[in-house]
Homo-oligomer: A and B are copies of this chain.
Amino acid sequence: MQKLKEEVRRAILNAALKSFKEQGYAAASMRKIAQDAGIAAGNIYRYYSGKEQLLDAIIGPVFEKCAAYMDEYRRMLDVPLAKERNKKQYFDMVRDTMVGLFKLHSSEFMILLNRSEGTRYEHVKNELMLFVEKILVDEFRLVRGNREHYSGQDGALASMLAGTLVEGLSRIIRDHTDTVTIEMLIDRLLDVYNTGIAFVIEDMRGIERL
């Protein structure tokens, strides 16, 4: 019952994707992946030279893309944004890019962000959150003005909101495969965070005014 090479490669990737997604990289078993792929354990190594390389094959490309975009956008953040209008454009661009990536590689992103403990990718989620956090912190500082009210509390708040937002996006791509639904849900989640964060900022402004 010999199979075509590409077919087996697909089977391995699918099985690995499933195992990594469900159990995480460390807990996933090469034997189980082989079993799910319908092949003998040793045969995986004809296609991928090890467990780590199998992970690379799955999330490497997505990681590269993501890292490239983050680098670019981080550089743009350092250039002072003169007008509100620019800021809105920046936000939309970041959102569209990320949402685009999320929709295109949802499972891979999910593993990259949530199931990579113990690999060289384990810091990625944190970096993404720090990036979102940076945007929020900038926003908060603007509100606080020069009145030195920005505090560790604000930092924890920005970190939490960034974290939960990224986590929320991860969840959406984890739980859905239909891109129309994913797009709708991401839009809604961003609506919630936009409105909610606006409210929180308004609240800050109120306190500042006192």
Contact = CB atoms under 8 A, between A and B. Distances in A.
Contacts of A196: 191-196
* Interface of A, helix, strand, loop or mixed by DSSP: helix
Interface string A182-202: 001100110111111111100
Q: How many copies of the chain does the oligomer comprise?
A: 4
A8 interface: no
Given A23-B118, A159-B175, A181 B153 contact: yes
A192 B24 CA distance: 30
Interface residues of A, number: 36
A132 interface: no
Contact of A167 (B161, B167, B200): B167
Contacts of A163: 168, 171, 175
A176 B156 contact: yes
A26 interface: yes
Contacts of A195: 192, 195-196, 198-199
Contact of A26 (B27, B168, B175, B194): B27
A112 to B, nearest CB: 17
Q: Which 7 A/B pairs are nearest by Cβ-Cβ distance?
A: A192-B196, A164-B168, A196-B196, A195-B199, A195-B196, A160-B185, A26-B27
